[in-house]
Amino acid sequence: ISGPQGDNVVWLHRGDAPVGSLLTEAVRSLEFPEGEVHAFVHGEAGFVKELRRHLRMERGITRDQLSISGYWRLGHDEDGWQASKRDWNAQVEAEQ
């Protein structure tokens, strides 16, 4: 995959590591560029929640600079996740 000059693509092969753990670790170790940063984070709800906390609370990214959503949740089928997603999101927002 190629992108604009200066972009860096990193492949994370998780093997037996828990879902999202390598991605969470990689984001935490990033040096953010100067100026305004925007993030697009969509994936498994557990690690998305952790990244939301990191980006909002530790990195100071505002809601306007962040597109973030748990698209699925381990241990839930689509119907089960959709039925509980509103409560999950309310809990996540209350924690921040």
pLDDT digits (tens, 9 = 90+) for 28-50: 999 998 999 999 999 999 999 99
Cβ contact 58:51 at 8 Å = no
Whether pLDDT at 1 is above 80: no
For residue 73, the enclosing domain spans: 21-94
Note whether residue 40 is domain-resident: yes
pLDDT band at residue 12, thresholds of 50, 70 and 90?
very high
- The answer, yes or no, to whether residue 24 has pLDDT greater than 80, is yes
**8: in domain:** no
47 domain-assigned: yes
Q: Give pTM, 2 decimals.
A: 0.83
Q: Where are the alpha helices (DSSP H) in 7-63?
A: 21-29, 45-53
Count of H-run helices and E-run strands, the chain: 3, 2
Number of domains, the chain = 1
Output the pLDDT for position 13.
95
Round to whole Å and give the CA distance between 86 and 57: 22
CATH code of the domain in which 71 resides: 3.40.50.80
**Matching residue, tokens 């998305």:** 48
**Which residue reads 């190629």 in tokens?**
2
